[in-house]
Amino acid sequence: MQYTWNSEHIFSTAALPKAAADKLKLAGAPALRVLIWLCCKGNGTFDANACARDCGGTPADCQDTLQYWVNEGLIVIGESAPDAAPSKETAAEAPLPSKPEDDAHKGSEARPSRPPMPTREEAVAACGTDKHFILLLRMVEEKLGAPLSPADMEMYFYLYHSLHLPPEVILMAVGYAVKNGKARRAYIEKTAIGWAEDGICTVDAADRYLYHLEKSREAFDTVASLCGLTDITPTVSQKEAAFRWIYEWQMPHDVIRFVFDYATEKTGKFQASYMDRVLERLHAEAITTADGARDALTQKKKASSKASRMKTDASRPPSFNIGQYETMVSRHRPQIPTTWKEDES
């Protein structure tokens, strides 16, 4: 059967790399839609919002799907494309960029390098032979409430096969992402990889970690309610500090409120790190009342002020007037004790 393009559109066709034909077998429908959009409307610039409007789905889904063609070597992200796209083998051998927290541990205990990403063919093969992986994908789809794309399957195969995370732990990471309203592939991948690097590789370890996160959030909610903090998104360090105050040190609520007022007066704002130092001292001194905290901090203030005055006095040069001293000596007349006069009589 022969065919030809409709003459009405013959002069508005878009060029498509022939190499794309070799990738069609494994590409899903979302990937094909994005590929057509890139050829017809991309013009070298990817607009996730415009792509989502034309192809359906969300901008995040289009962004994730674009990564499939990047991984397949058809697209190079950047201002200028290199002469030749690196092969998968070369990309796998390239060192991964280190994270800021990794740089902080350089020279002490560096994290091991991540294993290379498996190929799409390996992931597809596992979908037909590994019953545990097949069951994992089905349960992930149930949690997400949506079918998985080929790129999703490749990512989960990486977590399951390359990082050796048990399916139960992967499902816990997915559930955590869904609960926090971040059920995106990039977020789930980042969370699961972080768990693997931190040694959270068992159901028990993941359960303890999630429990700690939940209690930290509850602790900060308690502190926020006590101190009248509204419209604040706590950082990880703030939630960890609140966990210490509430659960580890078991500081009474009135003490926490007093220290909040004290720290706010000193710093002019809510500063968890300052409060943490003050509460740590009160905990070490076994102070459990607001009055006791007030007395302890007041005494510290007085002692600090006295030490400052002593230091100032000691630093002053001695005042000595030799002329005044000579005048005082010349006018001095010794007085005979009364007992001496009685003895003479």
> Which of these ranges, 86-100, 161-175, 193-207, 239-253, has the smallest mean pLDDT?
86-100
Predicted local confidence at residue 131, as pLDDT: 86
d(CA 317, CA 263): 37
Distance of CA 180 to the CA centre of its chain: 14
Render pLDDT for 282-326 as a digit per residue (tens, 0 to 9): 999 999 999 998 988 887 555 555 555 555 555 555 555 666 656
pTM value? 0.52
Alpha helices in the chain (DSSP H): 29-37, 48-55, 59-71, 88-93, 100-104, 120-129, 131-144, 150-157, 167-179, 185-197, 203-227, 236-243, 253-267, 272-284, 290-315, 322-330, 338-344
228 φ/ψ sector (left φ>0, alpha ψ -120 to 50, else beta): left
**Around 224, how many Cα atoms within 13 Å sit in the side-chain half-sphere?**
15
Confidence label for 8 from pLDDT (cuts 50, 70 and 90): very low
Distance of CA 110 to the CA centre of its chain: 18
Average pLDDT over residues 230-249: 92
Q: CA dihedral defined by 322, 325, 330, 335, rounded to 10 degrees? A: -160
Predicted local confidence at residue 276, as pLDDT: 93
Predicted local confidence at residue 51, as pLDDT: 82
Q: What is the CA radius of gyration of the chain?
A: 36
d(CA 262, CA 297): 9
Q: Which residue has the higher pLDDT, 19 or 12?
A: 19
Q: CA dihedral defined by 53, 59, 64, 66, rounded to 10 degrees? A: 40
Is 10 a residue whose pLDDT tops 50? no
Which residue has tokens 């990889």?
Answer: 193
Predicted local confidence at residue 336, as pLDDT: 60
CB contact at 8 A, 247 and 215: yes
d(CA 238, CA 335): 74
The CATH fold assigned to 120-201 is: Arc Repressor Mutant, subunit A (1.10.10)
Which residue has tokens 């950047």?
Answer: 78
Domain range summary for the chain, segments of one domain joined by +: 12-80, 120-201, 220-307
Q: Which residues of 84-115 are buried (b: 16+ CB within 10 A; e: fewer)?
A: ebeebeeeeeeeeeeeeeeeeeeeeeeeeeee
Residue in 229, 238, 275, 241 with CA at minimum distance from that of residue 255: 275
- The Cα-based distances of 61 to 55, 56, 183, 344 in angstroms read 10, 9, 11, 118
Residue 193 token pair: 């990889």
